[in-house]
């Protein structure tokens, strides 16, 4: 949620992320400084701020965190084929038969820590024969990282029972019963535990979770399948300079792959790998998912001349970096072209050539300031919004920013009788107004001045929209200034 | 004496030119490329005139502006379009160079899903050549999308446009309730070159709140524009010989 351009606070400043709790915001996660001061996640933000007034609180981006964890889960498949997300903040990797590729278990864990650190993330890692044991050790035992088959029970014994992955209510109950550690729980007779927690679900039952952690019950890792990845490659025998002759084959190959998976590309990336070990890319977006080779080829028109081929390249790849499902669509029976598809294609071509921010739909904001009412969104990312009803007549064109004009008036609070704009003097013939536009009260600062807008028709017939900023003696600056803001037709 | 026929006296009615009787407010049957020249570089009358010519349709409008016309004429303010009765979504393309404006307009003119393509080019640059306008005109006629080119600050070179207008603001109609306020806008519109109809000069009136669509935009003959022929002779004199 925070802007990436803000510098973060130092390490000794307590910082917390908050999320909405049942009775107001609660701490979602905290940094080391806050942890050292004794704060706990789940505490209410107002309580923590009352005790620690210098605590900095930012809202947590839960959806963003989830998306990041999903990406990390697929990224960790570089070490082993089966990975799965574990709770909100963990990843479980089944490295059976994979550790020797990275120099044994110790080398694997070192590699994992290093590569997370390279991405700016701190990872706490542990390896154990069962998933439950690895989870408990990684989260609750900071010293031990590798635990072999025989001493699982020995290493788990001193950890608190919550390390098994129990919920709060069961943990509280076990603590009240005096079963504070996993060792104490394991020493209890099975029959009494079974009878006491018979009505709990499988994934919350302490006995079953204990059995899983100790390897007495199976706990398979159900990894989601890999995301589909669409890429077309062209390997060339000799380095070449011009990518255009190879593009058609690449596009057709990619479209065939997409058609087999019933997907369409929303975003594509063409990469050339040069013989001097450099690479250059061109990226393209589409307004709606497409797998039409002719359309894609047209989008690449004029984009390839800006790629610097250097001394030549011998490998081209075309990836579909974002795909969406596309099913076969029925053409209109009367033979007319589909206008929606037409416009989507037009948006793609305009955006590919001119840039994302040059092709825009309007958006509307509820605000008093006329120049803020209309905003612009890139046409590829949004659909056109219906405009709101406007209570007053508005000009067709707006100067941005408004241009200051020199005005002669008969009374200071009245309309202009003559004004000079861009070195031409205009004499007022008729006028309508004033329409007073002041900022919203929550945006009103001591220096903000209200505006009085006039629609002025000058001799000769042109109609202008002028405003006077402020009033005489309003205590917010000197004499009011006049600006020309727009034109009526 | 024919003046004393049994049916009564024959009145001397002036014979009118074809142009005055034609319903010129209705746009041409085939959508074409239309050039509109404002008389002064920053006069927004041309924009209003183009918007008044638009027909009701579902598709969006493609609006392309180059850098100079944004600076000189101001940006399009879409809340103001509502007041003119234009409810189309507006796809706005803002580019720097007139070459890109022409390219974007040509892409748009080939796209039958749009209801109109409106381009603004300031100052009559070299890129806006006869060939460029010919391409636009052919695209517009091929796809059936009307294309309007607003050429402000332009002396008016060679063009393949099927209709070329020169538009200037004139004082508005009297306001119905307030004599000090400007009323509905009026423009002086001069059709100085057109294919398939004679040129002429009119007063264009725009009333976006009129109930009937046909009443929103009217072209009224000027009293002094010669729509009544000077050498007007009674029909009876010609037939009588």
Q: What percent of chain A stands above pLDDT 90? A: 46
Asked if the Cβ–Cβ distance from A387 to B79 is below 8 Å, we say yes
pLDDT of residue B106: 92
Residue A436's SS3 state is: strand
- Shared domain check, A114 and A73: yes
A11: confidence class by pLDDT, cuts 50, 70, 90: confident
pLDDT of residue B234: 41
Domain end (from A214, A240, A261): A214
Distance CA B127, CA B117 (A): 18
Asked if residue B133 belongs to a domain, the reply is yes
Query: Token digits for B236?
Result: 């009876």
Asked whether the ipTM of the predicted complex exceeds the cut of 0.90, the reply is no
Residues in A touching B63 (Cβ below 8 Å): none
B4: confidence class by pLDDT, cuts 50, 70, 90: low
CA angle A108, A110, A111 (to 5 degrees): 65
DSSP A441: G
Taking residues B47-60, report their average pLDDT. 85
pLDDT > 70? residue A242: yes
Long-range contacts of A84-92 (CB under 8 A, 24+ apart): A84/A221, A84/A222, A84/A223, A84/A224, A86/A131, A86/A135, A87/A165, A90/A135, A90/A138, A90/A139, A92/A131, A92/A134, A92/A135, A92/A221
Query: Token digits for A175?
Result: 């603590």
Domain extent, residue B34, equals 30-172
- Shared domain check, A277 and A405: no
Residue-wise pLDDT for A425-439, tens only, equals: 999 999 997 899 998
pLDDT > 70? residue A4: no
- Shared domain check, A195 and A97: yes
pLDDT of residue B12: 64
Instruction: Specify whether the CB–CB gap between A276 and A309 falls below 8 A.
Output: no
pLDDT of residue A147: 83
CB-CB: which of A379, A390, A455 is closest to B91?
A379
- Shared domain check, A77 and A204: yes
A353: confidence class by pLDDT, cuts 50, 70, 90: confident
Query: Token digits for B65?
Result: 């502006």
Residue-wise pLDDT for B77-113, tens only, equals: 888 887 777 888 899 999 999 999 999 999 999 888 8
Residues in A touching B111 (Cβ below 8 Å): 342-343, 345-346
Q: Which residue has the higher pLDDT, A62 or B238?
A: A62
Torsion angle (degrees, nearest 10) of CA A221, A225, A227, A233: 120
pLDDT of residue A183: 92
Asked if the Cβ–Cβ distance from A487 to B51 is below 8 Å, we say no
Asked if residue B218 belongs to a domain, the reply is no
Chain center to CA of A463? 45
- Best CA proximity match to B78, nearest among A49, A482, A374: A374
Which string of DSSP letters, residue by residue, matches A325-367? E----PPPTT----HHHHHHHHHHHHHHHH-GGGEEEEEE---
B133 at A interface, C-beta within 8 A: no
Question: From residue A213, how far is each of A140, A151, A455 by CA, in Å?
Answer: 14, 12, 78
- Best CA proximity match to A420, nearest among A483, A487, A485, A488: A483
Indicate which CATH number applies to the domain containing A320.
Answer: 3.30.1490.100
- Shared domain check, A45 and A185: no
pLDDT of residue A6: 59
CB-CB: which of B91, B107, B185 is closest to A463?
B185
Residue-wise pLDDT for A89-147, tens only, equals: 899 999 999 989 999 889 999 999 999 999 888 888 999 999 999 999 998 887 767 88
Taking residues A461-487, report their average pLDDT. 90
Query: Token digits for B100?
Result: 């890109």
pLDDT of residue B223: 66
Asked if the Cβ–Cβ distance from A489 to B60 is below 8 Å, we say no
Asked if the Cβ–Cβ distance from A387 to B111 is below 8 Å, we say no
- Shared domain check, A319 and A272: yes
- Shared domain check, A190 and A74: yes
- Shared domain check, A238 and A153: no
- Shared domain check, A480 and A419: yes
Reported pTM:
0.70
Distance CA B102, CA B109 (A): 10
Torsion angle (degrees, nearest 10) of CA B66, B67, B69, B70: 110
Distance CA A263, CA A261 (A): 5
pLDDT > 80? residue A387: no
Helix axes A131-140, A206-214, angle to 10 degrees: 100
Collect all residues with Cβ–Cβ distance below 8 Å to A208 and sequence separation of at least 6.
A202, A217
Asked if residue A386 belongs to a domain, the reply is no
Asked if residue A344 belongs to a domain, the reply is no
Distance CA A33, CA B132 (A): 67
Asked if the Cβ–Cβ distance from A431 to B181 is below 8 Å, we say yes
Distance CA A142, CA B143 (A): 71
A303: confidence class by pLDDT, cuts 50, 70, 90: confident
Asked if the Cβ–Cβ distance from A462 to B169 is below 8 Å, we say yes
Report the chain B residue with the minimal C-alpha distance to residue A341.
Answer: B113
Report the chain B residue with the minimal C-alpha distance to residue A458.
Answer: B171
Query: Token digits for A205?
Result: 């039952």
B177 at A interface, C-beta within 8 A: no
Asked if the Cβ–Cβ distance from A455 to B181 is below 8 Å, we say yes
pLDDT of residue A408: 92
B65 at A interface, C-beta within 8 A: no
> Chain B: nearest CA to A437, how far in angstroms?
16
Number of domains present in the structure of chain B: 1
Number of domains present in the structure of chain A: 4
Indicate which CATH number applies to the domain containing B143.
Answer: 3.40.50.300
Question: From residue A411, how far is each of A219, A289, A414, A471, A475 by CA, in Å?
Answer: 86, 61, 5, 12, 19
Asked if residue A33 belongs to a domain, the reply is yes
Helix axes B130-143, B98-109, angle to 10 degrees: 20
Asked if residue B114 belongs to a domain, the reply is yes
Domain end (from A214, A249, A264): A214
Of A5-14, A204-213, B173-182, the least confident: A5-14
pLDDT of residue B93: 94
> Chain A: nearest CA to B81, how far in angstroms?
6
Chain center to CA of B100? 24
- Shared domain check, A74 and A209: yes
Asked if the Cβ–Cβ distance from B62 to A346 is below 8 Å, we say yes
Asked if residue B142 belongs to a domain, the reply is yes
Q: Which residue has the higher pLDDT, B43 or A148?
A: B43
B225: confidence class by pLDDT, cuts 50, 70, 90: low
Chain center to CA of B37? 10
Asked if residue B240 belongs to a domain, the reply is no
- Shared domain check, A71 and A33: no
Instruction: Report the DSSP pairing between strands B116-122 and B61-65.
Output: parallel
Asked if residue A276 belongs to a domain, the reply is yes
Domain extent, residue A271, equals 230-328
pLDDT of residue B148: 94
Asked if residue A340 belongs to a domain, the reply is no
Asked if residue B193 belongs to a domain, the reply is no
CA angle A269, A274, A279 (to 5 degrees): 40
- Shared domain check, A195 and A149: yes
Q: What percent of chain B stands above pLDDT 90? A: 38
Taking residues A269-293, report their average pLDDT. 89
CB-CB: which of B62, B95, B180 is closest to A354?
B95
Asked if the Cβ–Cβ distance from A350 to B45 is below 8 Å, we say no
Distance CA A486, CA B44 (A): 10
- Best CA proximity match to A11, nearest among A29, A36, A28: A36
Task: Write down the mean pLDDT value for chain A.
Answer: 88
B206 at A interface, C-beta within 8 A: yes
Q: Could you check whether the bond before residue A226 is cis, i.e. omega within 30 degrees of 0?
A: no
CA angle A425, B222, B21 (to 5 degrees): 145
* Beta-bridge partners for A85: A91
Instruction: Report the DSSP pairing between strands A481-488 and A15-21.
Output: unpaired
Domain end (from A214, A244, A264): A214
Residues in A touching B59 (Cβ below 8 Å): 339, 343
CB-CB: which of A340, A387, A429 is closest to B78?
A387
| Surface of B (66-85) touching A: CB under 8 A | 73-84
């Amino acid at each position: 949620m925070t802007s990436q351009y803000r510098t973060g606070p130092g390490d000794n400043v307590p910082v917390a992320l908050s999320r909405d709790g049942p009775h107001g915001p609660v701490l979602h996660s905290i940094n080391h400084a806050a942890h050292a001061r004794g704060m706990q996640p789940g505490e209410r933000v107002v309580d923590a701020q009352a005790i620690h007034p210098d605590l900095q609180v930012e809202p947590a981006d839960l959806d963003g965190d989830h998306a990041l964890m999903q990406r990390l889960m697929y990224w960790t498949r570089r070490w082993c084929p089966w990975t799965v997300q574990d709770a909100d903040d963990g990843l479980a990797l089944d490295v059976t038969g994979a550790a020797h590729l990275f120099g044994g278990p110790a080398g694997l864990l070192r590699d994992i820590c290093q590569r997370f650190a390279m991405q700016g993330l701190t990872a706490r890692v542990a390896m154990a024969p069962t998933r439950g044991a690895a989870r408990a050790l990684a989260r609750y035992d900071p010293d031990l990282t590798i635990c072999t088959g025989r001493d699982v029970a020995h290493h788990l014994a001193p950890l608190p029972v919550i390390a098994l992955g129990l919920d709060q209510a069961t943990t509280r109950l076990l603590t009240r019963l005096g079963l504070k550690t996993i060792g104490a729980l394991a020493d209890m007779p099975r029959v009494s535990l079974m009878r006491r927690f018979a009505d709990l679900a499988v994934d919350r039952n302490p006995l079953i979770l204990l059995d899983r952690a100790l390897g007495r019950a199976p706990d398979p890792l159900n990894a989601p399948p890999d995301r589909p990845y669409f890429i077309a490659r062209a390997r060339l025998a000799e380095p070449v300079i011009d990518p255009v002759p190879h593009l058609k084959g690449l596009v057709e190959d990619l479209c065939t792959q997409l058609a087999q998976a019933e997907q369409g590309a929303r975003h594509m990336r063409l990469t050339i790998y040069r013989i001097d070990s450099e690479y250059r890319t061109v990226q393209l977006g589409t307004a709606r998912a497409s797998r039409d080779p002719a359309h894609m080829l047209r989008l690449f028109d004029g984009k390839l001349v800006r790629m610097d081929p250097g001394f030549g390249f011998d490998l081209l790849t075309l990836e579909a970096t974002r795909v969406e499902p596309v099913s076969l669509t029925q053409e209109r029976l009367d033979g007319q072209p589909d206008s929606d598809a037409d416009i989507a294609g037009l948006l793609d071509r305009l955006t590919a050539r001119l840039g994302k921010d040059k092709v825009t739909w309007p958006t509307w904001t509820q605000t008093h300031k006329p120049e803020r009412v209309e905003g612009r969104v890139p046409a590829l990312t949004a659909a056109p919004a219906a405009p709101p009803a406007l209570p007053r007549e508005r000009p067709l064109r707006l100067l941005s920013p408004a241009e200051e004009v020199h005005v002669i008036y008969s009374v200071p609070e009245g309309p202009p009788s003559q004004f000079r704009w861009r070195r031409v003097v205009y004499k007022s013939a008729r006028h309508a107004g004033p329409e007073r536009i002041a900022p919203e009260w929550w945006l009103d600062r001591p220096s903000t001045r209200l505006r009085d807008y006039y629609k002025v028709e000058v001799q000769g017939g042109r109609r202008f929209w002028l405003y006077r900023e402020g009033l005489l003696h309003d205590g917010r600056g000197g004499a009011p200034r006049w600006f020309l803001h727009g034109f009526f037709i | 004496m024919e003046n004393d026929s049994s049916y009564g006296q024959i009145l001397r009615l002036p014979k009118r030119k074809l142009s005055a009787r034609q319903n010129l407010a209705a746009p041409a049957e085939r959508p074409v490329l239309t050039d509109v020249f404002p008389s002064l570089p920053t006069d927004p009358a041309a924009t209003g005139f183009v918007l008044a010519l638009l027909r009701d349709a579902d598709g969006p409008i493609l609006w392309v502006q180059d850098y100079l016309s944004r600076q000189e004429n101001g940006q399009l303010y879409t809340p103001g379009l509502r007041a003119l009765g234009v409810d189309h979504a507006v796809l706005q393309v803002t580019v720097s160079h007139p070459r890109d404006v022409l390219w974007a307009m040509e892409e748009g003119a080939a796209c039958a899903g749009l209801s109109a393509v409106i381009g603004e080019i300031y100052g009559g640059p070299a890129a806006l050549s006869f060939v460029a306008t010919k391409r636009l005109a052919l695209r517009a006629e091929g796809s059936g999308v009307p294309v309007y080119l607003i050429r402000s600050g332009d002396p008016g070179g060679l063009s393949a446009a099927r209709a070329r207008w020169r538009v200037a603001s004139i004082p508005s109609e009297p306001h119905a309730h307030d004599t000090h306020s400007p009323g509905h806008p009026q423009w002086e519109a001069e059709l100085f070159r057109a294919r398939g109809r004679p040129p002429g000069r009119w007063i264009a009136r725009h009333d976006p709140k009129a109930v009937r669509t046909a009443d929103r935009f009217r072209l009224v003959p000027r009293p002094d524009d010669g729509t009544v022929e000077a050498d007007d002779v009674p029909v009876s004199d010609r037939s009588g010989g």
